[in-house]
Amino acid sequence: MMGHYALTIFLSAFLLFQIQPLIGKYILPWFGGTPSVWSTSMLFFQTLLTAGYAYAHWLVGRLSVRRQGTVHLALLGVSLGLLLVLGLVWDSP
């Protein structure tokens, strides 16, 4: 069981460090290549990571396992819906 936790933590860190430079490179045409763009991108993702930790801590302390799954599925549905809508509406740089 401990191996599952270690694998999950490693995979989440790996994915986070893959997404940060990718998004930073994607927004460069809009905001320029100054160091402040990279610093802001890193700050944004670290803030999201901290918010995710706080969300997980709050969820485990307040809801049952079944309700946690329901909340996760609802948030996944909302994020996929927003991704589809923004993908169709948002213009590329």
Per-domain boundaries in the chain: 1-46
Q: Residue 92 has what pLDDT? A: 66
For 33, other C-beta atoms within 10 Å of its C-beta total 11
Q: List the one residue out of 93, 7, 92, 15 whose CA is nearest residue 52.
A: 15
Q: Per-residue pLDDT tens for 48-64?
A: 889 988 998 999 999 99
Question: What tokens were used for 33?
Answer: 């290549």
Residue 21, pLDDT > 90, answer no
What is the average pLDDT score of the chain?
87
> What does the alpha-carbon distance between residue 71 and residue 60 come to, in Å, rounded to a whole number?
11
Could you tell me if 68 and 59 are in contact, meaning their C-beta atoms sit under 8 angstroms apart? Answer: yes
How far is it, in rounded angstroms, from Cα 42 to Cα 52?
15
Q: Give the predicted TM-score (pTM) of the model.
A: 0.67
- Mean pLDDT over residues 10-37, rounded? 83
Rounded mean pLDDT, 74-87:
92
